[in-house]
Structures are given as structure tokens and as C-alpha cells.
Amino acid sequence: MDSEHMGDDLAKVLLTEEQIQARLSELAEQIWHDYEGKDLLLVGVLKGAVVVMADLMRALPGTAPMDWMAVSSYGSGTKSSGVVRILKDLDADITGKDVLIVEDIIDSGLTLSWIRANLESRKPASVEICTLLRKPDVVKVDIPVKYVGFDIPNEFVVGYGLDYAERYRNLRCVGTLAPHVYA
Ligand code: XMP
Ligand code: MG
């Protein structure tokens, strides 16, 4: 879905489809270079990372396997608590693999630091993180993020996999919603 089909639901476009694709191409080149000779496994976190994963993996100059995890983070409204439950675990054993977690957004970083620790306990060769978007609050948690698409302001955004009440994930750009949508 393009922003012109959004009616007046979108208040502002933060990142256009072109900006996102250009940045993902850069990240894919960098990742491919960094993982040369390694056993790269892309691990996506459902559902938000679906769109990032689809475009990032196709931007890679070569092929790499992927796996998925689904977690539920207990929290109220749009804030996560860091208390996480696994809804769907990885299909495969990651022992000895070079795991790259692919995420849509890091806000507080609580969910991701839990996932990272959980994956690290399975004895992979390495665990790194790639996120399309990062919000400023993440500095409060000590979580190293190797690949960041864009640092964005502390606003609730939708599109490109990110939802509001499960909607707007199919929007090709990233933007903020107009106040009337929340009403
Ligand atoms: P933490 O705070 O643990 O949470 O890093 C990350 C998760 O929170 C959701 N999230 C958002 N979802 N627009 C969204 O659609 C946002 O602006 C936003 N900020 C945080 C998201 O599920 C992410 O994985
Ligand atoms: Mg969500």
C-alpha cells in the first residue's frame, strides 16, 4: 500500500519507500562483507520484521538461510516490559551459527535484550542485531546494535511491517498516524 492510498490516516511520512530501500541495500552489502566465510543465519522476530526480512534478504549479494521466532512481551499499550514469552521458537539448532537478528524497531530494547540473551545461551558462534529503526530510549539499555537503518524520534510509527492494532503493516513507507485514527 502506498501513502496516497492512506486517505488522511497518515499525519507525516518519516521515511519514503526509496529511502528505506536505499538504506537496506547499503546494510545488505555491509552485512555480506562482514559475514564472509561465516555461517550466517538470519533470525526474524514475528510479525513486525516480516517486511524488513523480505527486502533485506533479497538485497544480499548472495544467499543465506532464515529462521523465525515469535515472542509476546507483556506490557501495557505500546510499551514493553521486558518480560517475554516464546510463542514460536526457532525451527533449527543454532549451535555454532553466526546469528543475525533482524528487527523492525528497537524502542526500549527490553524485548531484544531478552531475545539476545536467550539465543546466546544456545551456544551460537555469534549474535548480532540488525534493525531498520531505532528510537532514542534504547540508550537506557546496554544493547549493542551492529546494524541500524535509521535513528528516528520518539514517536509511534507505522508501516513497513509496523502496525497499529495489526493494521498499516503493508504500508510501503514509515510514518505517523493522524490523531483521529486513535480516537
Ligand atoms: P522494546 O521497547 O522492547 O519494544 O524495544 C520493541 C517492540 O515494541 C513495538 N514498538 C512499536 N511498534 N510502532 C510500532 O508499530 C512503534 O513506533 C513502536 N515502538 C515500539 C514493536 O512491536 C517492537 O518490536
Ligand atoms: Mg506491534
- 83: pLDDT confidence band, cut at 50, 70 and 90? confident
Q: What atom of ligand 1 comes closest to residue 107's alpha carbon?
A: 5
The ipTM assigned to this model is 0.90
Q: Is 132 exposed, middle or buried (0-12, 13-18, 19+ CB in 10 A)?
A: buried
Look up residue 54 and give its amino acid: A
Closest CA to 78 of 44, 110, 46, 43: 110
Residue 79 has a pLDDT of 62
The DSSP 8-state label assigned to residue 1 in this structure reads -
Is the per-residue pLDDT at 183 higher than 80?
A: yes
Cβ(109) – ligand 1 distance below 6 Å: yes
Q: How far is the CA of 164 from the centre of ligand 2 (A)?
A: 7
> By mean pLDDT, which of 40-54, 74-88, 102-116 is the weakest?
74-88
Specify the fold of 23-155. Rossmann fold (3.40.50)
pTM of the model: 0.93
User: Average of pLDDT values for 73-88?
Assistant: 75
113 lines ligand 1 (CB under 6 A): no
pLDDT reported for residue 77: 58
In this model, does residue 43 exceed pLDDT 60? yes
CA 36 to ligand 1 centroid distance, Å = 31
CA 130 to CA 68: how far, in whole Å?
A: 14
Residue 17 has a pLDDT of: 98
User: Which ligand is nearest to the Cα of residue 156, counting in written order?
Assistant: 1
Task: State the average pLDDT for the chain.
Answer: 93
Q: In this structure, which residues have their CB less than 5 angstroms from ion ligand 2?
A: 163
- Mutate which of 162, 174, 177 to test ligand 1's pocket (most atoms within 8 Å of Cβ)? 162
The ligand placed nearest to the CA atom of residue 80 is 1
* All structural domains of the chain with their residue ranges: 23-155
Query: In which band, very low, low, confident or very high, does the pLDDT at 75 lie, cut at 50, 70 and 90?
Result: low
Mean pLDDT of 71-87: 75
> How does pLDDT run across 123-167, given as a tens digit for each residue?
999 999 999 999 988 777 778 999 999 999 999 999 999 999 999
